[in-house]
Amino acid sequence: MTDPVNHTILLLDIEQFGRRDDVEQAFMRRMLYSVLHETLRSAGVEPADQRLEDRGDSVMALISATVPKSRLLHALINETPTLLHANNRLAAAGARVRLRIVLASGEVAVQELGGALGGAVGWDLNQAFRLLDSTPLREALRHRDGPCVLAVSDALYQGIVRHGHGGLAPEAFHRVTVQGKEGAFPAWLHGEPAPGTPIDIPPAAPAPAANAVPQGAPEPQGAPATFQFLGGTPTFGGNLIGGNQHVVSGGQVHGDVNTGNTVGGDR
């Protein structure tokens, strides 16, 4: 097995593939690969930068991390639906293809097995397949008129989409929770979720306390305050300090200073 290498993970799955007969399935698989190849071509992905694995009703593409993910997202958002629409116009109603699509990224190791196809393994890959098969993605496609639905991993959203790289619109993505075998995790759905799907709102960063010391600033010192009077009658809050005060040469007050009220008697 090779050492894990960072890849962009692209997964495409045909909706309700198992309900079609063999002839329809064969036609739909040809359309799936045609749409995939045209999408990758439009994104500028060279054959040397992609590794495809067939999964029957779905296909996995491992793409070199050197290919900009924003370019792939633009192709998936704009080109893929157009390609599917053009192909479906020529297909019989029972052979039209609708796709669930996932784009993620992460570390993937490849283990070639003699006489077998495939062998990619990795935590990030597993999570991408959990997202591909998730309820929010399935329900979103079921409630849409369009031919496909796209979701991206949280890491890809935070690193690419959130910053608007390549002109992407972060507000077009909605945060959802996916229940995987290893626990729940966040993902981002392009377009509106299906009715009834909870939309997660990321918690806002807590506001700093009013008296918080900025990071890196020196801690405030607890030195006692010193008052200096240069003649006249000192008042505090509009009230006169009456009575005898203990004052030393230089006009510095030592001991307690009473403020806010007129004070008489000894101090």
Tell me the two tokens of residue 205: 């960063």
Q: Can you give 239-257 as a three-state secondary structure string?
A: EEECCCCCECCCCEECCCC
Model confidence pLDDT, tens digit, residues 67-97: 999 999 999 999 999 999 999 999 999 999 9
Amino acid at 195: P
Identify whether residues 134 and 234 lie together within a single domain: no
Q: Is the pLDDT of residue 98 over 90?
A: yes
Identify whether residues 52 and 118 lie together within a single domain: yes
Domain hosting residue 97, numbered range: 5-190
pLDDT at residue 240, rounded to an integer: 46
- Decide if 213 is inside a domain: no
- Decide if 113 is inside a domain: yes
Identify whether residues 132 and 232 lie together within a single domain: no
- Decide if 183 is inside a domain: yes
Identify whether residues 61 and 179 lie together within a single domain: yes
Confidence of residue 22 (pLDDT cuts 50, 70, 90): very high
Give the residue among 143, 20, 27 at the shortest CA–CA distance from 87.
27
pLDDT at residue 241, rounded to an integer: 47
Tell me the two tokens of residue 252: 């510095």
Identify whether residues 177 and 71 lie together within a single domain: yes
Identify whether residues 131 and 246 lie together within a single domain: no
E strand intervals along the chain: 5-14, 50-54, 58-64, 99-110, 120-121, 148-153, 173-180, 183-190, 235-236, 239-240
Tell me the two tokens of residue 87: 């192909």
Q: Is the pLDDT of residue 197 over 90?
A: no
pLDDT at residue 208, rounded to an integer: 53
Helix, strand, coil % over all residues of the chain, rounded to 5: 30, 25, 45
- Decide if 56 is inside a domain: yes
Q: Is the pLDDT of residue 64 over 50?
A: yes
Identify whether residues 174 and 82 lie together within a single domain: yes
Give the residue among 72, 92, 77, 80 at the shortest CA–CA distance from 34.
80
Identify whether residues 145 and 253 lie together within a single domain: no
pLDDT at residue 200, rounded to an integer: 66
Query: CATH number, domain at 129?
Result: 3.30.70.1230
Query: In whole angstroms, what is the distance from residue 153 CA to residue 137 CA?
Result: 12
Identify whether residues 186 and 245 lie together within a single domain: no
Domains in the chain, number: 2
- Decide if 196 is inside a domain: no
